A and B are shown apart, each in its own frame.
Chain A
Amino acid sequence: MSEADVLIVGGGPAGVAAALELRRQGVARVVLLEREPHLGGATRHCSHSPFGMREFGRVYLGAAYGRRLETEIARAGVALRTGHSVVRIEPGGQLHVTSPRGVETLAAQRVLIATGTRETPRSARLVSGDRPVGVVTTGALQAYVAFHGLMPFRRPLIVGSELVSLSAVLTCRSHGARPVAMIEPGPHPLAPAPLMAFPRLLGVPFHAGADLVDIRGTTRVEEATVRLADGTVRAFACDGVLFTGRFTPESTLLRQSTIGVDAGSSGPAIDPFGRTADPHVFAAGNLLRAVETGGWSFREGRAVGRAMAEDLAEERARGSAPGDLIPVTFDPPIKLVVPGLIRRGAHATPAFADFQLRFLRRARGRLVLLIDGRETWSARGTWMPERRILVPIPRDAHTADAVHVRFEEAA
């Protein structure tokens, strides 16, 4: 017996938007599970990024955005359960949940997983050296500042050059910390070039092509050694190392379930409706692919919420079984394609109008979408890693036998 029509796991922008849309579409019992005490997900501790312009017509910073989400959720009649951690996903979308009531199993007609993304920590980057205190990610740094008024260091070395890395620099400088340098192992900064003036303006030297080769410190970080682009090795005296970016979907629940994760995105593979290989389980937001803004995730959550409502109505009307799945294939150095599945013969309105692509490295060449071997779209360009690329999903993709994204790299 289902306790809910739809269970949503994760109260960030994607999960909240889906919940609101499901209610708007008339789905009666929508339950939102969130492990933290408040909604907002990663937006809660992002004190520099403005959220809410597109969805609410005004700008909120940090936790204020989460409070607006809470207001909307209450107004829409969504059952919000904070302090609820999902510990396992069973086939058919049954959820094992722990909460102050203990462990229970929840079930619903449909489940949406929207557990978001986090940065790759030092361990998973396999960085050499000692393992002292003072090594954190941007998310942790921002939580120190936003929730507790604390700082994990005063003179960190910053690793990474994504947008979040710039946010980290701002957080440091506005809270009395002076980063000793910012380094990027790749040959170019990953954030748009004009923005890279910011670290320098704030007195933080930037080094591209620079590899962190050693961290030293018996109890706290004392020194970080960097091999610079010209091959020279330089030791920075510092009291912390801040690993920024390299976001990865928070997808272990799926990895441990029958759904699994996609090798390219590390999130669950979905069809253009947001549905995973388990037809009862949908996914949306940064769990699908790292990393997009809160606003993007909100719109994606809303679209998947609409598709889920339509799917429920469709099932009631016709009892139709979902069509069979084919994978979307692609060439290197494309890192991922989302949606990575096509559900053949489905006739509802897709939640995704475009394939989202990312590259593993900077590459110049022609990108081609092939439907059953026919070119239906192509573009030439220089494609940057960690940047969103959109390829429209043509109508005939939904009935195709083969969908492939080809890359012809320029010599």
Chain B
Amino acid sequence: MLPATAPTLSPPGETFDVAVIGAGVVGCAVVRRLALAGAKVVLIEKGSDILSGASKANSAILHTGFDAPPGSLELDLIKAGRAEYLAIAGSLGLSLVKTGALVCAWNDIEAEKLEAIAAQGRANGIAALELLSGHAARATMPGLSERLVAALEVADEHIIDPWTAPLAYLTQGAKLGARLLRHAELTEGRYDGTWHLSTTAGELRARAVVNTAGLYGDIVDARLGFTPEFEIRPRKGQFVVLDKAAAAHVPRIVLPVPTEITKGVVVCPTAFGNVLVGPTAEEQDDRVRATVEKATLEALLARGAEIVPALAGLPVTAVYAGLRPASESKAYRVFCRPESRAVTLGGIRSTGLSAALGLAQHALRLIEGFGLGLAPVETSPPVCLPNLTETLPRDWQQPDHGEIVCHCELVTKREIEAALASEVPPGDFGGLRRRTRAGMGRCQGFYCNARLAEITRGHLAEPLAVEGAAS
């Protein structure tokens, strides 16, 4: 059933220390960091599940920051976030696949830019950078087109599971008492020494607020009564996911020489054993719709096959599109308003997955100045989420795993049931897919969709089966 929505969420006299607004990757990381710092946290989310906005669609790369703007807050937070990710990956069971990346120059003009990119990377404190001839680069990845002129190798780039990581952050927060409210869109906030927040799921009170609303960051700032200091300009990215047979040809992340607008079309392996081609960068006004377009997807496939010729003709497993919460500026839009105990983490354009833990550290530093009198918890609770990546053992490899429901991605029934009964259960089918990979494979539900409809009955906001039995 849907989560119960009480008209008043804070019992009389109860006030949360911090309300975090928006359950994307940044919001989930902030909740964890604040809960570890001893705060009583509530996370409010307007969607039916976490990661419903920008965070559901990205290229799943844990960046080093080699190409981030030198001296920027973004660079600092990518490096801090990445360092923390590497430090906690073991204890939180987070995936980490060190593929390295090749910034590929396909003509002499691009090749000339590689030295400057390397210099910027070294200035950013990234040591493992090496300029390679096209031949030498292809020796590390023979699938690359012979047209390759030169490449910059960034050895420390990783790929990760982009959905389990934020879920692990939030799960740890939840184990420390943090609450998640779904279907709770902020409609108004008022500060009189305490924040009084109205949401579509009821009223609540908090001593401080953190705006991690992503695509709605500017709107949430306005609803909190602030004059927004930035404007979200959604930038759509479309992706194509290729069949697992493609993975043998793409062991590394293949980056283009970036332009002013975007990092460009990436070809990279995923932690789940597929290959990703994308994203595009398309400005749009709509903050909700992230449509895929056939012509664009065909162009991505063609581009992928130019870069790695063996990808030509391989089957498409999935297509998706996401919106980046870009703003009028390339920089992160971070604002702290101590007089009203509010922090805004806005304009996290395209490095949110890498920087989330760093942003959370930064938010805590700012909130520590609010005098909330927080006392850090003594031990961080263990979190053990199922591994979904192909680099670590999966449930189907264990004896007694029982029924396999999704044959393409080898998802067991008990994995699905565990997700439905977990600390942060999926609120919709997308959330179930992100937690288990069920239905994410090449058949896209031909074999398992009906079984999933049966197993998830009563659990999802939009059920797979319509009301009433088949007559």
Contact = CB atoms under 8 A, between A and B. Distances in A.
Interface of A: 35, 37, 83, 85, 87, 98, 100-103, 118-119, 121-124, 126-133, 136-137, 139-141, 143-145, 147-154, 175-176, 213-214, 218-220, 239, 248, 250, 252, 255-256, 263, 266
A266 B245 CA distance: 13
B465 A144 contact: yes
Which bracket fits the contact residues of B?
Answer: 35 or more
A139 B107 CA distance: 47
A336 B449 CA distance: 30
B397 A129 contact: no
30 contacts: A35-B407, A85-B396, A98-B396, A98-B397, A101-B399, A118-B447, A119-B446, A123-B316, A123-B318, A123-B319, A124-B444, A126-B319, A127-B292, A128-B293, A130-B291, A131-B320, A133-B428, A137-B444, A140-B449, A145-B470, A148-B450, A150-B453, A151-B465, A152-B449, A152-B450, A154-B466, A218-B288, A252-B442, A255-B245, A256-B244
B446 A137 contact: yes
Contact of A128 (B291, B317, B445): B291
Contacts of B404: 35, 83, 85, 98
Contacts of A219: 48, 428, 461-462
A240 B434 CA distance: 22
B292 A131 contact: yes
Nearest to B402: A100
B245 A126 contact: no
Given A98-B396, A140-B446, A175 B317 contact: no
Contacts of B13: none
A67 B462 CA distance: 35
A214 B407 CA distance: 29
Given A143-B451, A150-B454, A98 B466 contact: no
Given A121-B443, A121-B446, A144 B397 contact: no
B446 A118 contact: yes
Given A144-B450, A144-B470, A126 B298 contact: yes
A147 B450 CA distance: 8
A325 to B, nearest CB: 22
Nearest to B273: A256
Interface of B: 48, 241, 243-245, 248, 288-294, 297-298, 313, 315-320, 396-404, 407-408, 410, 428-429, 442-447, 449-451, 453-454, 461-466, 468-471
Contacts, number: 155
Given A153-B466, A256-B244, 18 more contacts: A83-B404, A100-B401, A103-B397, A119-B446, A123-B318, A123-B319, A123-B444, A124-B317, A128-B294, A131-B320, A140-B446, A147-B451, A147-B454, A148-B453, A148-B465, A150-B469, A152-B466, A176-B468
Nearest to B403: A83
Contacts of B400: 100, 102
A248 B317 CA distance: 13
A137 to B, nearest CB: 5
Contacts of A136: 445, 449
B451 A150 contact: no
Contacts of A252: 243-245, 315, 408, 442
B401 to A, nearest CB: 7
Nearest to B397: A103
Contacts of B408: 252
B289 A130 contact: yes
A118 B449 CA distance: 13
Nearest to A142: B450
Nearest to A255: B245
A220 B320 CA distance: 16
A141 to B, nearest CB: 8
B336 to A, nearest CB: 34
A256 B243 CA distance: 10
Contacts of A137: 444-446
B468 A133 contact: no
B279 to A, nearest CB: 15
Contacts of B399: 100-102
Nearest to A103: B397
B432 to A, nearest CB: 11
B398 A102 contact: yes
Contact of A85 (B244, B318, B407): B407
Contacts of A139: 446-447
A132 B429 CA distance: 9
Contacts of B294: 126-128, 213
B449 A102 contact: no
Closest 3 CB pairs of A and B: A121-B444, A143-B450, A102-B399
Interface centre among B294, B402, B444 (most CB of A within 10 A): B444
A148 B317 CA distance: 26
A129 B291 contact: yes
Given A118-B446, A139-B447, A140-B446, A98 B453 contact: no
Nearest to A153: B466
B276 to A, nearest CB: 13
Contacts of B443: 118, 121, 250
A175 B465 CA distance: 13
A140 to B, nearest CB: 4
A255 B242 CA distance: 13
